[in-house]
Amino acid sequence: MKSLELREVSYSYRNRYQTVHAVREVSAVFEPGQFTALIGKSGSGKTTLLSLLAGLDTPTSGEVLFDDIPTDKMDLDNYRSNHAAVIYQSYNLFPYLTVLENVMYPLEIKNTPRHDALNTAAKVLENVGLGELFHKRFPSMLSGGEQQRVAIARALTGSPEIILADEPTGNLDTENGGIILSLLQSLTHEKHLCVIVVTHDFSIANQADVVLQMVDGRFATCAPPE
């Protein structure tokens, strides 16, 4: 099984006034079939850590490893295309593409034959509860919960082992937030994916397998939720 690991990871950057130590010597292992919630106040370092796990940044020191290979030694575009998918609070859908076209997009940029891309996108949309009725709709015609399900479907087209979600229920009401939570749990425990969620939503944290609380760039706790 391929795991994702943080090994003494730190990340610093310089803004106009000072050096910011966003992440400080954190270590953890994230396993397939494990749902992890990253919690903490704004500025605690959790979103920066998610970017490091996604290969959007590389550590200042220490290593992020996938399948025992450091991310700074791999092709990060390939890593994100085929292994680690990111889901954002704001959905990041293309407004002038239909639902089906949005989900097909990652396949098309890999030059997947159109017929195969259509079939894969339709199947993944069905798996997140969006059947053919939704295929020709544009994002503006969908509710927030439906848009987030499209974003999750798009992330799944590359058959990733890792799902990284930044506040996936942040813009949703309680009912739609619950639908997204159930979907993420299904991906974790039925599809055996590694799911890591940055969240302020205690309903997510309370149902996670592992909760990591960040305070000033460090892990304050590393334990199952009570």
SS3 per-residue string spanning 22-80 = EEEEEEEEECCCCEEEEECCCCCCHHHHHHHHCCCCCCCEEEEEECCEEHHHCCHHHHH
Residue 104 is given by DSSP the state: H
Residues 149 and 123 grouped into a single domain: yes
* Residue recorded with tokens 């799944």: 156
CATH assignment of the domain containing 3 = 3.40.50.300
Mean pLDDT value of segment 167-195: 90
Residue 164 lies in a domain: no
The token duo for 15 is 């803004």
The answer to whether residue 186 scores a pLDDT higher than 60 is yes
Around 91, how many Cα atoms within 13 Å sit in the side-chain half-sphere?
A: 20
Report the distance separating Cα 122 and Cα 42, nearest Å.
Answer: 37
Q: Give the pLDDT confidence score for residue 226 in this predicted structure.
A: 47
Residue 170 lies in a domain: no
Residues 10 and 44 grouped into a single domain: yes
Q: Per the structure, how many domains does the chain have? A: 2
Tell me the average pLDDT of the chain: 91
Residues 193 and 126 grouped into a single domain: no
Q: Give the pLDDT confidence score for residue 223 in this predicted structure.
A: 47
Encode pLDDT of 100-153 as tens digits. Answer: 999 999 999 889 999 999 999 999 999 999 999 999 999 999 999 999 999 999
Mean pLDDT value of segment 192-203: 90
Residues 91 and 139 grouped into a single domain: yes
Residue 122 lies in a domain: yes
Residue 212 is given by DSSP the state: E
Q: Give the pLDDT confidence score for residue 170 in this predicted structure.
A: 86
Q: Give the pLDDT confidence score for residue 136 in this predicted structure.
A: 96
The answer to whether residue 155 scores a pLDDT higher than 50 is yes
> Residue 98 sits in which domain range?
84-159
Residues 77 and 95 grouped into a single domain: no
Report the distance separating Cα 185 and Cα 139, nearest Å.
Answer: 24
Share of the chain above pLDDT 90, in %: 73
Residues 61 and 111 grouped into a single domain: no
Residue 166 lies in a domain: no
